[in-house]
Structure 1
Amino acid sequence: MTNGDFDEQYLIPESGAVIQDYLDDFLYTSWYTGKRDLIELDSYGFPTEANFRVSTDPLVGTTVRQSIDFQGIPWGNEAIGPREYFRLYRLHTYSLACNHSDWSPDELSIDDVRISPYDPFFEFHTFYKTPVCVKNHFHLCKNLAFFGEYSILYVSNSGIQGQNLLTKEVADVFDFRNSILQKNSICCLSTSQQLGCFSTLYGQYGIFNPKTQSCSIRKMHDESINHIQLLDYKGLAVLGCNDGTVALEDIEKTGNQVIFRGTDAVNSIHPSPDLSLLLICSDCKRVPLFDWRSNQVVDEIFHSDSVLTGSWHPNGHILATGGQDTTLKIWDSRFFKYPIRTLGSQMSAVTNVVFSSTGDSLAAVEQADFAQIYNTKTFSDCQVIDFFGEVSGANFSPSGDTFIVGLDDPMLGGIMEFRTSIPSHLTCFF
């Protein structure tokens, strides 16, 4: 795990920090080896997108070898310099939020993982530059979802848009610029087989049908609804709120019932596949497992800092949690005393954790720059996807054959698509 000095863990980054800021600061560090007079700046003095364009001049780049990565950045040109130096700069200076100060990265016990750079589980397929994916809270990064195998829904500055992976077309699904929604307020987007839903930082939420483009916008209270998830065949939605409550919403009756009250902001909620348990991830170090049937907390699992995300394996026994302590923990619901595995991030907090539908793969996506995909046979083999940008969301397709990551950045943002490079022959041990 490479997180830089621990003192920097307590610095909270400004929401919406973008590559211009990092690149501009990078130009004045010892890591920078390019030529500042070749950097194109805008009227505010920030580097522009032109610095990342590949030159068509055959003489440019003849003295320094350019290496184009899958985001289209021409690393190695005379202006920017080599990619590895900017990566080192990001690793040492990226600031993390920290809610609980009684821990240190040096004290975390992280299990060893074999990184597979030459035998990836998923290969890069396409980078969709047109989509403008946004996130409106620095660690609520669930603004991207599949609706069917080849359609992606994502939050944009104007509302909710769609990207077709087959036709490459982008379409407006809902334009909320003239609606009752406050500007740039959507903090969570999720889908089921038939419907979609979103929640906002101002206590609003919506249930919508992308096919008919019908949407019902509702108001719960003035507190942020940090996470919402549909229970499609139950006709219910479960909502996790900033005031520490978890509520059930009847989609047809448009009424909600609070089923859990905590003292810490709920970051995400994750029902088990059989709906017997609800994993409640909050700003507390403890993660309660709530039993729907008895309306009681039946167990707890622990991190060293706030817990941001979780996911259940399709078998209903194994689950994963990720948090601000920069760890991913794997648990067996039949024995919660200790995690099966404790795995470290590359740079920042783990904000998205998701199992594929087959259970063969587990993705742990960080707040920025990195996603790790684990072989769930032993959780000892890992593919690291290395990019630049703040993550707006990440997910697997319904079949598990496609993995997408949304990036919120005006210059380098978009949607990255990865597809399975090897047959799904991995057999889970549980």
Structure 2
Amino acid sequence: MADFHNDDPYCALDEETQLQKGDESDSDFEDDYESSKSQNDTTAVEFRNGKDMQGIPWERLSHTRDNYRETRLKQYKNYEDLSPSHEMIDKECLAVDKGKTFYDFQLNTRIVNSTIVHFQLRNLLWATSKNDVYLVQNYSLMHWSALSRKEKEVLNVAKPVVPTLKRPGLLTQSLSRVQISSMVVKDNIMVAGGFQGELICKYLDHPGAAFCTKLTTHENAITNAVDIYCNPSGSMRIMAANNDAQIRVFDAECFACLSQFGFDWSVNSTSVSPDGKLVAVLGDSVDCLIADVQSGKVAANLEGHVDYSFSSAWHPDGRILATGNQDTTCRLWDIRNPSRSLAVLKGNMGAIRGLKFTSDGQFLGMQEAADFVHVFDVESGYVKCQEIDLFGEIAGISFSPDSESLFVGIADRTYGSLLEFNRKHYNPYLDSFY
């Protein structure tokens, strides 16, 4: 992974449209943003009546939305480490019907605005229910309540983070100002990774951080990915992957480091299979590895991507793995026959930086670095898709645990927001009647 820090790597809305990412005071239409944030929300009713989903006032601009989309597609430059040939990639990709609607737009609120500290890392959003979303905003971990439409600070990492859990032999330490690079929330545990190799663990029902430490003193120490999972015996574990090419596994109750595995390249993403036995290991390599969680021994090498990978997700059945790459594709693998990918899904313009399956296994969400989120119908063989078209850097996507809601975090100084979509249900009786 590139050792690069930039809060604003790309500009989704350029100066010609007068929506540049500068200080908000430079904007030609301030919308009284600070004094009346809630007025900048876009509701489902307003959207159906013609308001832009993100609240962008295209009627005041010199370009239409369609014209700007066309320009954006032509001018956007996807970051690549290996500059692969895309002609061969395109030949493998599925032909997809993108005109479906599986999730209806519900709300866009600009009260919360995710903050990206590394342009390749986009796991900064997590939904624990259809009404509760956690995200990284500046130097704070925030909770957004869809019921009350309010935000609440959960942990401020701009201040020194002092662990509250004290046990003999526990390798914990206080941390100074932390720039959060990755996060995950499961049950009552929130885990965040830092730009300087930090790891912070917090119980949601207790104030402060329960455990925090610096995982490595390596000069390029970014905690690229964190994961929470249950091992085969049912014990909860925390996994951290770093730019020092190491994976570390912690007990989620006592926070003791249980194991550590090394690889030949920086590890950018890990995801543990639903049964807790296997882990997908992706990073600064064209190959993706399947390793044993207990020993770290590599069981399979998935070959097909042509650049570095940054995201992965397991289908709930534990047989299908999705991997996202800077070559602008997501590959699907059946781990029972890993010699070649089952299918290849193509993004519109950027790297695939986030992947999530719904808990019922019916949909796969695929997040590009900017502008596009794709929701694929699994039962159709991934050939039916909903394409969510927006403008801005995407900080993360998350389905609610019941699969009823989809949340998308947008990082932008003026139009940064949280978008909420609700699952669309069809009534077979009414369909047959009409």
Relative to the length of structure 1, the TM-score reads 0.84
Paired position in structure 2 for 1:285: 286
Cα distance change of structure 1 residues 422 and 201 upon mapping to structure 2, 3 Å threshold: same
Paired position in structure 2 for 1:274: 275
1:55-109 Cα deviation digits (max 9, x unpaired): xxxxxxxxxxx963110112233x34201121122111222221123x2112212
Paired position in structure 1 for 2:9: 17
Q: Secondary structure at the match of 1:147?
A: strand
Paired position in structure 2 for 1:204: 198
For residues 85-100 of structure 1, the aligned pairs below 5 Å read 85-100=67-82
- The separation in 2 between residues aligned to 1:106 and 1:52, in whole angstroms, is 47
Deviation at 1:135, TM superposition (A): 1.4
Contact 1:225-1:239 within 8 A present in 2 as well: yes
Q: Secondary structure at the match of 2:290?
A: strand
Deviation at 1:158, TM superposition (A): 3.1
- The separation in 1 between residues aligned to 2:114 and 2:85, in whole angstroms, is 33
- The separation in 1 between residues aligned to 2:206 and 2:192, in whole angstroms, is 16
Deviation at 1:387, TM superposition (A): 0.3
- The separation in 1 between residues aligned to 2:52 and 2:193, in whole angstroms, is 34
Paired position in structure 1 for 2:30: 50
- The separation in 2 between residues aligned to 1:40 and 1:384, in whole angstroms, is 25
Cα distance change of structure 1 residues 156 and 276 upon mapping to structure 2, 3 Å threshold: same
Deviation at 1:413, TM superposition (A): 0.6
- The separation in 2 between residues aligned to 1:356 and 1:424, in whole angstroms, is 20
User: Which letter does structure 1 place at the counterpart of 2:216?
Assistant: H
Contact 1:18-1:409 within 8 A present in 2 as well: no
Cα distance change of structure 1 residues 271 and 41 upon mapping to structure 2, 3 Å threshold: closer
- The separation in 2 between residues aligned to 1:290 and 1:332, in whole angstroms, is 15
- The separation in 2 between residues aligned to 1:151 and 1:113, in whole angstroms, is 35
Q: Secondary structure at the match of 1:211?
A: coil
Deviation at 1:294, TM superposition (A): 4.9
Cα distance change of structure 1 residues 164 and 258 upon mapping to structure 2, 3 Å threshold: same
1:123-163 Cα deviation digits (max 9, x unpaired): 10000110021111101000111223421111111311110
- The separation in 1 between residues aligned to 2:387 and 2:199, in whole angstroms, is 34
- The separation in 2 between residues aligned to 1:13 and 1:178, in whole angstroms, is 20
Contact 2:247-2:262 within 8 A present in 1 as well: yes
Q: Secondary structure at the match of 1:196?
A: strand
Paired position in structure 2 for 1:217: 212
For residues 30-429 of structure 1, the aligned pairs below 5 Å read 47-50=27-30, 68-77=51-60, 79-101=61-83, 103-108=84-89, 109-117=91-99, 119-180=100-161, 181=175, 183=177, 185-215=179-209, 216-222=211-217, 223-231=221-229, 233-302=234-303, 303-377=305-379, 378-423=381-426
Q: Secondary structure at the match of 2:79?
A: coil
Q: Secondary structure at the match of 1:50?
A: coil
Q: Secondary structure at the match of 1:239?
A: strand
- The separation in 1 between residues aligned to 2:58 and 2:104, in whole angstroms, is 21
Cα distance change of structure 1 residues 42 and 332 upon mapping to structure 2, 3 Å threshold: closer
User: Which letter does structure 2 place at the counterpart of 1:100?
Assistant: L
Cα distance change of structure 1 residues 135 and 44 upon mapping to structure 2, 3 Å threshold: closer
- The separation in 1 between residues aligned to 2:125 and 2:157, in whole angstroms, is 17
Cα distance change of structure 1 residues 41 and 220 upon mapping to structure 2, 3 Å threshold: closer
Cα distance change of structure 1 residues 381 and 188 upon mapping to structure 2, 3 Å threshold: same
Deviation at 1:16, TM superposition (A): 1.5
Deviation at 1:389, TM superposition (A): 0.7
Contact 2:97-2:385 within 8 A present in 1 as well: yes
Contact 1:322-1:353 within 8 A present in 2 as well: yes
Paired position in structure 2 for 1:6: none
Contact 1:374-1:381 within 8 A present in 2 as well: yes
Paired position in structure 1 for 2:166: none
RMSD over aligned Cα atoms: 2.8
- The separation in 2 between residues aligned to 1:42 and 1:110, in whole angstroms, is 40
User: Which letter does structure 1 place at the counterpart of 2:397?
Assistant: A
User: Which letter does structure 2 place at the counterpart of 1:23?
Assistant: D
- The separation in 2 between residues aligned to 1:52 and 1:309, in whole angstroms, is 38
Structure 1 portions without partners, runs of 5+: 1-9, 54-65, 426-430
Contact 1:52-1:72 within 8 A present in 2 as well: no
- The separation in 2 between residues aligned to 1:202 and 1:138, in whole angstroms, is 15
Q: Secondary structure at the match of 2:30?
A: helix
Percent same amino acid among aligned pairs? 23
Paired position in structure 1 for 2:172: none
1:224-251 Cα deviation digits (max 9, x unpaired): 1111112254232111010111111123
Deviation at 1:14, TM superposition (A): 5.1
Q: Secondary structure at the match of 1:97?
A: coil
- The separation in 2 between residues aligned to 1:42 and 1:423, in whole angstroms, is 43
- The separation in 2 between residues aligned to 1:164 and 1:410, in whole angstroms, is 22
Q: Secondary structure at the match of 1:91?
A: helix
**Aligned residue pairs: how many?**
389
